[in-house]
Amino acid sequence: MKTDLFISYAWTSEEHREWVRLFASQIHLLGYNVKIDEKVDYGSSLSGFMKEVTNSQHVLLVLDENYVDRANNRPKSGVGIETEWIKSVFDKKSEKWLSVVFVRNPNRVLPAWLEDQNPKGFDFNSAPERDEFPGSVQIDEVWRWIEGLPADKSNAVPLSELRKRSSRIEKITSQKDPSNYSNPALSGNVTFRHRNNRYFTVGHSEYEFKINFSGRGHDSVYVYTDSGLEAVGLITTEKYERSSVESFLTPARTATPVVGQSVILMNSHGVLCIIKIDEVQCEVNTGAVGYIPEHVAFSYEILSWSDGDQV
């Protein structure tokens, strides 16, 4: 995965390193692939940091006063080495490739080599005596720089609105996740809101069945073959031999059991599954009762070859 943002910083203190990691996590949370120089392999400039810098869409220097001092006066330090590597490719990049963050650097001092370049800068300096602390405004500025968006925000969608939209999408996507509607056991009891998803998956591997329902009446449902089943059939008697239950299979697309009746299913591996309809609930939305979602409750048993149940 290509790096959206590479962050270079000095290991000034544990507190500073923690700040950088938290900053990086905030940018990552916005959906960017972020790397920091803590993972740099200094043993090979070509396969280590140089490769990371060259392939990164953007580079961000976190400039505290210690970083500036090392970049200017300590060429053999990690920051000094990184500075030389960055300088070696800087002229080949666009003017929006590199930017800087000022933190614990109230005078906004740049490394000497950058003073004439006038890079885009983000002020994350704190001034507790004036009750001034960096936060969402500065993070907003950083992601707008990454995206190449203009400073004019007259056409911008607020992050608060984007958060709401994202939340809506994630909730619905989560509800659609098939893993929320599955039980890998070979037998069990299930209550399934069949309007929420196409099918409920029971079993696993060759013993897997994707069961598709829809409402039919106050005490009945449709059971379909549409989700990959080979056949379905209504078991028309309460007493039947397991060894001959496949005789109830039909080439029809659906079976229509009422509460208390059972259905036999066959998957593409020829494995059989018996489901019994225990409850059918139509949607209710009244002032007296409140809201009850449409659902079906069923018990199931997959007939295992190892048990000698399959014929």
Question: What does the pLDDT look like over 264-301, one tens digit per residue?
Answer: 999 999 999 999 999 999 999 987 778 999 999 999 99
Of residues 52 and 106, the one with the higher pLDDT is 106
What percent of the chain has pLDDT above 70?
A: 92
Q: With DSSP H G I counted as helix, E B as strand and the rest as coil, what are the percentages for the chain, rounded to 5?
A: 30, 30, 40
Structure tokens at 219: 């005490």
- Please give the pLDDT value at position 38: 63
pLDDT tens digits, 122-160: 999 988 888 888 888 888 899 889 998 887 888 888 777
Rounded mean pLDDT, 86-104 = 92
- Please give the pLDDT value at position 137: 85
Contacts of residue 85, Cβ cutoff 8 Å, sequence gap at least 6:
45, 49, 50, 53
Q: 58: helix, coil or strand?
A: strand
Burial class (CB in 10 A: 0-12, 13-18, 19+), 169: exposed
d(CA 245, CA 235): 8
How far, rounded to the nearest angstrom, does the alpha carbon of residue 83 sit from its chain's CA centroid?
35
The lowest-confidence range among 3-17, 27-41, 125-139, 178-192 is: 27-41
- Please give the pLDDT value at position 28: 92
Topology (CATH level 3) of domain 5-156: Rossmann fold (3.40.50)
d(CA 153, CA 174): 32
Decide if 110 contacts 68 (C-beta within 8 A). Answer: yes
- Please give the pLDDT value at position 1: 64
**0.85 exceeded by the pTM?**
no
The lowest-confidence range among 31-45, 138-152, 242-256 is: 31-45
Residue 42 pLDDT level (bands cut at 50, 70, 90):
low
